Structures are given as C-alpha cells and as structure tokens.
Amino acid sequence: MFESVTKLLESCPCGRKHSLLTDECVVSDDAAVQMKEYIAQRGFQNPAIICDENTRIFADALTDITAAVLTVDGHAHATEVYSAQAIDFVKASGADVLIAVGSGSVHDITRYAAFDVKVPFISYPTAASVDGFVSGVAAMTWYGQKLTFESAPPIAVFAVPEVFCTAPTRLTASGVGDVIGKYTSLFDWVVGEILTGEYRCPGICGLEYEAIDAVRDAIRNRSPETEREYTIKVMEALLLSGLAMQLTGNSRPASGSEHHMSHLWEMCCINEDSDALHGEKVGVGLLYVLREYHRYLNTMDADAIAAIDLAKVFDRSHIEKAYGSLTDGILKENLPKGKSSLADIKVTAETVPAILEAAKTLPTAEEAEELLKAAGAPVSNKEINLPYDEAFIEKTLTYAPYVRNRLTLLKVIQASKM
C-alpha cells in the first residue's frame, strides 16, 4: 500500500513536488525492534515517551528503550491544558526525541509539544482508531473551540499488530468511521475545485480512495478467522490517509463536512458532552451529510449559489445562537483577513453538471450505513449519546460549516438558504 506514496513523491500527476517528513512507516510484528534500531541509527540519546493511563502498559513493555515517561489521564483530550503539561515535560526531561504511545489524543498532544519545543517524535499507535498518527496537523480543542494547528508529523511510525489488534473492537470501528468519512471529504474537495478553482491533487485523492477501498473490502471479508488481517488493513488505511494529509500540507483530503459535524459536537456548543469516539461521530455525521447531499443534488440551483449573501451568512447574531462565547473565534476562523472562501465562488453553465458528475463517487447513506454496521460502528445520534430529534440535526447541519474556513457543499447549501 505504501508504494503508492513513494510513486507520488517521485512524480505526481498534479505537477507539484510533494514531500514527506515521515521517512519510515512500518506495520510489522517486529516493529518495536525496528523502532529501537531506528532510534540508535539516528543517534538519539535521550528519548521520552508520552502515553495515557490506558496505554502505559505498552510504554512499559518497551523495555529495550530507556526513556522518561509522561502519563496523562486516560480520558485526556488534546487541549491547551494537556499540551502545556507535555511541553513542560519535554523541556524538563531534555528529550531529543519523543515517542507517542497511544491513539488520537496522545498523538495530537505529542505532535503539538514536539512542534513547540522543536523535538522530533515517533509514532507508536496502540489502536487502529484515527487517521492522525502521521498527520502534520493537530486537531485541538483550544479554550473550547475546535481548531487545527500546524504541528510536527512523526519522523517515523512503528505499528505492532500484536499491540493494536488487541485494542477494543470499538476503537477499530471508530477507525473505520474515520476512513469511510473520506467519501464526503474527497467530494467536498472536488466541490472546492469546481466552485473556486482551489488546488486539488488527483494523485492524493487516489491514495484516499485506495484507503477507502481497502477498508471496504476488509469489512466485506471480515470473519473471526480474518479479524487480525482486517484490523491490519484498517491501520494501514489510516496511516495512508495521514500520509495523504502530510503530502497535501493540510487536512483537506481527509476532512470535510462529516468532520465538521463531529467537531461541532466535540465543542459542545449545541449539546452536552458525549463520550463517543471521534471516528464514531465522524461516521454518524457522514450519514447525515450524505442524506443532505443527495437531497440537495436533486434540486441544485446555480442561481441560488450565485446569490449567496455573505452579510447574512456571517451575521454575528446568527452565529451567536450556536457558538455563544466562541463567536469571535468562529468569525476569525471563517474570515481570515476579512474574506471568506464563499466570496471566491464562480458559477458558470458547467458548474452544476460538474458537481453532479463528481457526486457519482458518493455512496448512498444506506450503503455507508451498511459498512459502518458491519464494522460494529454506531449509525445514529442515539447510539453516541447525542440528541436525535430533527431540530437538533437541522441545527447541526446549519452550524457545522462554521467550524472551519473550508469550502464544502454543506457550507454552500446552508449559505444559499439564507
């Protein structure tokens, strides 16, 4: 699977020269041994480990590596509080390389600290749960607002099946939700290209579709006898997706409207906190977005898109209804230098046909739901302890596009309604 990445580095159809900071990506039973050898070969003298209470057991199992260890709370999220704790730890330990032993939150905390202190880090994932292991951005909840920060991608990733295949199946199902969600993120990228001329790389999109196809096939062939192989396929797809983000330089190929739904719920602006995992929320968000997209595509109106009123879209009183005290931050996110991506939309006679053609890549909500169910992932708000009445879903669809300054079809739909 990773050969596809090497080919893009050598020559990409988009004509751009891509680069990666991650120079090793190993999924193997002897990955821990290879990690020790890698550390020695690179001349690191003082490694330090960041883990949480749930993954400390795997950190302790790395007996061949002498390292200081920071153990954060078992339910720690990537916030300004834990990031500050990690930064202080790295400075105090004098580490010359960090090892993130855990899943999503541990990696975001580690990559943010590594970037801040300018120390490289190595990824040692303990569950096939998210696609952020090798990403170069950190998804953080910063003083209540969900933000994406430029951070450090790992210089290497070493994933041991004996470790991540023993993780609770719920974590792997969450990883499946994160991967299947790429259907709408990739489509949203095409929409951005069609409407605003945004750069899009077909080669990188191909990597993401390769990841989706691998997971889809693994789900369909899943059985008690193939569970280990299935989990390995999910991990490889998550790593491939993370490398796609690194090649792009941002999360565009892996995060669209479905992620914005999840991030809004994680900000707890319109709901109480939920203990659902990130990929679980992405999967549920995907189903709502697919239903909304297919409804809209049947009646898409180019004139309504061209007539979007930005003053109404970014009216403070409207945004405040959902975001409250976070409104200033949301406006800042959506209007960098006072301009929104919606202002760059150009509508021609070819716009609607082009979007409809691109939409052929989208599965139906029923097809996506079948895959999620087969993976054991939730498919409704009720299953992830969020309100599931129509009013709440409509409010989510209305306000999720404000989470990021990123053009998606959902942002266009909601803006054209106003």
- Per-residue pLDDT of 169-212, as tens digits, reads 999 999 999 999 999 999 999 999 999 999 999 999 999 999 99
The pLDDT-based confidence of 1 (bands split at 50, 70, 90) is low
Q: CATH code at 408?
A: 1.20.1090.10
Asked if 140 contacts 105 with a C-beta cutoff of 8 angstroms, the reply is: no
- End position of a domain, from candidates 167, 191, 225: 167
Same domain, yes or no: 216 and 338: yes
Query: Per-residue pLDDT tens for 108-121?
Result: 999 999 999 999 99
Query: Per-residue pLDDT tens for 8-59?
Result: 999 998 999 999 999 999 999 999 999 999 999 999 999 999 999 999 999 9
- End position of a domain, from candidates 149, 167, 185: 167
Q: Residue count of the chain, please give it.
A: 418
pLDDT, mean of residues 360-369: 98
pTM: 0.94
Same domain, yes or no: 265 and 160: no
Q: What is the DSSP string of 88-132?
A: HHHHHHT-SEEEEEESHHHHHHHHHHHHHHT--EEEEESSS--S-
Same domain, yes or no: 243 and 386: yes
Query: Measured between alpha carbons, how far is 316 from 59 in angstroms, rounded to an integer?
Result: 47
The pLDDT-based confidence of 75 (bands split at 50, 70, 90) is confident
Same domain, yes or no: 136 and 27: yes
At 253, list the tokens: 């190929």
pLDDT, mean of residues 116-138: 94
Same domain, yes or no: 39 and 119: yes
Query: Measured between alpha carbons, how far is 405 from 408 in angstroms, rounded to an integer?
Result: 9
Same domain, yes or no: 179 and 160: no
Query: Per-residue pLDDT tens for 229-258?
Result: 999 999 999 999 999 999 999 999 999 999
Same domain, yes or no: 214 and 141: no
Specify the number of domains making up the chain.
2
Report the range of poorest mean pLDDT among 138-152, 310-324, 348-362, 390-404. 138-152
Q: Does residue 369 register a pLDDT over 80?
A: yes
Question: What per-residue confidence (pLDDT) applies to 112?
Answer: 94
Strand partners, 252: none
Q: CATH code at 28?
A: 3.40.50.1970
Same domain, yes or no: 259 and 296: yes
Q: Does residue 63 register a pLDDT over 80?
A: yes
Same domain, yes or no: 274 and 390: yes
Look up residue 147 and give its DSSP letter: E
Same domain, yes or no: 8 and 147: yes
Question: What per-residue confidence (pLDDT) applies to 205?
Answer: 97
Same domain, yes or no: 91 and 188: no
Residue 224's domain comprises: 174-417
- End position of a domain, from candidates 167, 202, 234: 167
Q: Does residue 398 register a pLDDT over 90?
A: yes
Query: Per-residue pLDDT tens for 304-352?
Result: 999 999 999 999 999 999 999 999 999 999 999 889 999 999 999 999 9
**SS3 call for 320:** helix
pLDDT, mean of residues 117-144: 92
Same domain, yes or no: 356 and 325: yes
Asked if 48 contacts 54 with a C-beta cutoff of 8 angstroms, the reply is: no
Max CA-CA distance within the chain? 65
Instruction: State percent of the chain over pLDDT 90.
Output: 90
